[in-house]
Amino acid sequence: MKRIEEKHPLAIRWFHWINFPVLAVMIWSGLLIYWANDIYHLNLGVASIHLFPNWFYHPGYHESTNKGHALWDLDYRLAEGMAWHFLFFWFFAVNGILYVSFLILSGQWREIVPSKDSIKQAVQVILHELHLRKSSPVQGKYNGAQRIAYFSIIVMGAGSLITGLAIYKPTQMAWLTSLLGGYEVARFLHFWITMGYVVFFVIHILQVVRAGWNNFRGMVTGYVLTDEEAPQQ
């Protein structure tokens, strides 16, 4: 017997889908800014990768035309990047604050904040997904791995705002900047939190694809179709 179950409240869906383009603009404009002083490396022990190689900013660049692909053109645009960044951080901040407020006030935080079983459950989930374990653990709205991932992303969002303010206003908010270990440390953290979003995004998309249409549709419509028996009235 099929029935329709509510999965994601309207507010959560709005926060989620507003955040997507806003964060995209923040990461894109952040790259325009980072280009002007791209000092970080990814150290993999044997190799150190410069973030980012020149081709990354301007793929398909030809000296003859002095142009690359128009859709992916990230160099020499620092001023423009700062202007977009300092407009859209307001939307990112307000959306994030409203989202967390909603989680708290609606009690939805109980679905996301990791519980004491979450780590154990997360290990079981990962083993199951790697086909090393037959049964998947029992779960509520989110399993342990999801709880840890989604809660981390909220903490990272707060981290982006805090480290961002620390490098945006290191005099007005000098107390915050020094609390984080200084201007350079705050900038370092701000960058790597963003890299964390990119990693999250890749895994998130893979998992959404794996979970299938019904689950994805749940984040759009708010409802999922289930095969379960209807509960006894």
- Residues found near other proteins in the complex (CB under 8 A): 1-6, 17, 21, 33-34, 36-37, 39, 78-80, 82-84, 86-87, 138, 140, 169-172, 174, 177-178, 183-184, 187, 217, 220-223, 225, 230-232
Closest CB to other proteins among residues 9, 155: 9
Closest CB to other proteins among residues 60, 140: 140
In the bound complex, what is the minimum distance in angstroms from residue 83's beta carbon to other proteins?
A: 4
- Cis before 89? omega within 30: no
Closest CB to other proteins among residues 115, 155: 115
Question: Whose CA is closest to 31, among 40, 44, 18?
Answer: 40
Angle at 59 between CA 65 and CA 190, to 5 degrees: 130
Closest CB to other proteins among residues 43, 232: 232
Assigned token pair, 109:
């935080």
Closest CB to other proteins among residues 2, 131: 2
Q: Can you state the angle between helices 183-211 and 10-34, rounded to 10 degrees?
A: 130
In the bound complex, what is the minimum distance in angstroms from residue 46's beta carbon to other proteins?
A: 28
CA dihedral defined by 132, 218, 13, 81, rounded to 10 degrees? 60
Phi and psi at 13, nearest 5°, equal -65, -40
In the bound complex, what is the minimum distance in angstroms from residue 192's beta carbon to other proteins?
A: 15
In the bound complex, what is the minimum distance in angstroms from residue 45's beta carbon to other proteins?
A: 27
In the bound complex, what is the minimum distance in angstroms from residue 13's beta carbon to other proteins?
A: 9
In the bound complex, what is the minimum distance in angstroms from residue 169's beta carbon to other proteins?
A: 6
Closest CB to other proteins among residues 156, 185: 185
**What's the half-sphere exposure (Cβ side, CA atoms, 13 Å) at 30?**
23
Query: Helical H runs in 169-212?
Result: 174-179, 183-211
